Structure 1
């Protein structure tokens, strides 16, 4: 029995390593792929707006989603810049935080993913994932423009951030 489990594990790891992240999603996780995303380019960031009815693993399926406008994305970015240091300093889950002197410059290295949704209170909100896709990040975030998902482990802890922004209350939240 142990031999069968080891062989099955080896076969699975060989098969998985044969596919790129996008090919793997196409074959095994098609339900979390976005058919379309909208590229947003700004002098300080690049991002992808995910469409209405997309949920991925980010927003509960019971929440209605919507496509954010470029004006809403700019509002999100303004909230993110203005509240980034404050939210990290005031959140009890954040153990060590070194205040960023220039938040805009620090966040410039992260590409963004945006998904609008209506929260449990009926307020317009947005999930935003920031990912450093430079260097090794090209491999770790290979299918970034089509899938909103979290990564776990040391690399992702250093190169990925996740926030929710309540657009109606103009509030940044660390979920």
Structure 2
């Protein structure tokens, strides 16, 4: 099966400062800062999640379905909803580090490859729920 190729050029963001690597024994991923402009529309106010918030997100994900385990690499985007709850959008991608630009571009894909290998979760840190 052929994987789609992703062009690393992103005119909205500087590739030198788009993410921060985080990991522990149960996850690996990249935090994208508030100034990063994702290719999807996020209407809420953006913020940069910190390591503590990512740890809390991962504890909440661990209580959910098993499709959030270590085989999925992560990309984290932070935002505030209208109630000022902290939301973390997580793009989980199986074999994510093999995908070009995983540390630079959050590209939500469509098609057979992504249906099999991509999961999108939104965790509300205030309610501790996966939305």
Give the TM interval when normalised to the shorter protein.
0.7 to 0.9
Corresponding position of 1:109: 71
- Match in the other structure for 1:92: none
What secondary structure sits across from 1:76 in the alignment?
Answer: helix
1:8 aligns with none
CA contact (8 A) 1:32 1:57 kept: no
User: 1:124 — aligned with what?
Assistant: 86
The alignment's TM-score, normalised by the length of structure 1, stands at 0.65
* Contact 1:58 1:127 (8 Å CA) reproduced: no
Larger Rg: 1
Q: Secondary structure at the match of 1:129?
A: strand
Over the aligned positions, Cα root-mean-square deviation in angstroms equals 2.1
* Greater helix proportion: 1
Alpha carbons 1:57, 1:149 under 8 Å: kept: yes
Moved over 6 A (4+): none
Say whether the 8 Å CA contact 1:59–1:117 is kept in structure 2: no
Contact kept, 8 Å, 1:49 with 1:67, in 2: the verdict is yes
Partner Cα distance (1:75, 1:40) in 2: 13
More strand as a share of residues: 2
Distance 2:14 2:75 in 1: 13
Which of residues 1, 12, 15 is equivalent to 1:31? 12
Q: Is the counterpart of residue 43 in structure 1 residue 25 in structure 2? A: yes
| Equivalenced residues, count | 126
State the 1:45 CA deviation.
Answer: 1.3
Partner of 1:171: 129
Q: Partner residue of 2:118?
A: 160
Gaps spanning 5+ residues in structure 1: where? 1-19, 86-102
8 Å CA contact 2:32–2:77 kept in 1: the answer is: yes
TM-score, structure 2 normalization: 0.84
Larger RCO (CA within 8 A; separation ≥ 6):
2
